[in-house]
A and B are shown apart, each in its own frame.
Chain A
């Protein structure tokens, strides 16, 4: 581990704010991409199922 304490990890010698924002944005982009693709699949399957029943 490069950092000596939790405080050091959060602060990153003054760069913590910039670094953590970028990692959060990366996580958000990945999560939204995966979630929206999965949600669309679920909605389509539901819709097609109900259409088949008719």
Chain B
């Protein structure tokens, strides 16, 4: 297996595995992501709420899209991030990767809940009901349960490295649900409308409707990066408090 032994990931990949390196670089990047998040979310929200024209079918209730769609996209992205970092933790035995995965759980669960609740509130004026057991809604609810399971598992296992491995396996298995959520509106006959937005096709809405949505999605991604960096850096402080660099960091600030 000499080819395997000679195979190396790029240097930054191993540097990311160093808690000290992650803590310092993360701290330097955080303000930029926060500034980008505040700018784009403020711009997107004001535009979507005040200036975008009302939808010809849904009236003003379509403005819920500007918070519902980012929440739904993010909740799935965070789940994938949690599974990928969990996998990296398993394969390369990287402590920091498990910390990132752990940081994703509460953020992801809160945005899944937000997507479900705003969807329900949107459903009332649009479909006439808060909830239907349709494929998209049900698979998203399952994702919320998966997040809850990962959080409970983390809470139940005191040893961080065992908890990291156990939750990694649960989140990797749980990613089966992600394509189900994504394609649910195509596979099953459902009340939920199909994607309003895709990377490859031309938007189905006019620019003054989708640019604020784009701003919201990108702004929320920046916010999520900030949150994951902050929570992971908290986790590093917690677990590395005996390290000499932590003492030095505290003296310097």
Contact, CB under 8 Å: A32 / B250: no
B107 within 8 A of A: yes
- Asked, given contacts A18-B121, A26-B71, A51-B241, whether A37 binds B64 with beta carbons under 8 Å apart, the answer is no
Contact, CB under 8 Å: A48 / B246: yes
Contact, CB under 8 Å: B64 / A22: yes
Chain B residues with CB under 8 Å of A19's CB are 49, 60-61, 63-64
Q: Whole-angstrom distance from the CB of B16 to the nearest CB of chain A?
A: 20
What is the interface size of chain B, counting residues whose CB is below 8 A from a CB of the partner? 41
Contact, CB under 8 Å: B125 / A2: no
Q: List residues 17-54 of chain A with CB under 8 A from any CB of chain B.
A: 18-19, 21-23, 25-26, 29-30, 32-34, 36-38, 40-41, 44-45, 48-49, 51-52
Q: Whole-angstrom distance from the CB of B181 to the nearest CB of chain A?
A: 19
B129 within 8 A of A: no
Distance in angstroms between the alpha carbons of A15 and B106 in the assembled complex: 31
Contact, CB under 8 Å: B50 / A3: yes
Contact, CB under 8 Å: B250 / A52: yes
Contact, CB under 8 Å: B64 / A25: no
One digit per residue, 1 when the CB lies within 8 angstroms of any chain A CB and 0 when it does not, for chain B 108-121 equals 00110110011001
Distance in angstroms between the alpha carbons of A23 and B51 in the assembled complex: 15
B147 within 8 A of A: no
Query: Which residue of A1, A30, A52 is within 8 Å of B247 (Cβ)?
Result: A52
Query: Which residue of A25, A37, A52 is within 8 Å of B118 (Cβ)?
Result: A25
Q: Is the interface of A mostly helix, strand, loop or mixed?
A: helix
Chain A residues with CB under 8 Å of B41's CB are 30
Chain A residues with CB under 8 Å of B241's CB are 44, 48, 51
Distance in angstroms between the alpha carbons of A18 and B119 in the assembled complex: 10
Q: List residues 218-253 of chain B with CB under 8 A from any CB of chain A.
A: 223, 226-227, 230-231, 233-234, 237-238, 241, 246-247, 250
Nearest chain A residue, comparing its CB with the CB of B107: A33
- Asked, given contacts A18-B122, A25-B117, A29-B111, whether A2 binds B54 with beta carbons under 8 Å apart, the answer is yes
Chain B residues with CB under 8 Å of A22's CB are 64, 67-68, 117-118, 121-122
Distance in angstroms between the alpha carbons of A36 and B106 in the assembled complex: 11
On B, residues with C-beta under 8 Å from A are 41, 45, 49-54, 59-61, 63-64, 67-68, 71, 106-107, 110-111, 113-114, 117-118, 121-122, 124-125, 223, 226-227, 230-231, 233-234, 237-238, 241, 246-247, 250
14 contacts between A and B (CB under 8 A): A15-B60, A22-B117, A22-B122, A23-B45, A23-B67, A25-B118, A26-B114, A29-B71, A30-B223, A34-B223, A36-B106, A41-B230, A41-B237, A44-B234
Q: Which 7 A-B pairs have the closest CB atoms?
A: A12-B60, A26-B67, A15-B61, A15-B60, A37-B230, A22-B118, A22-B64
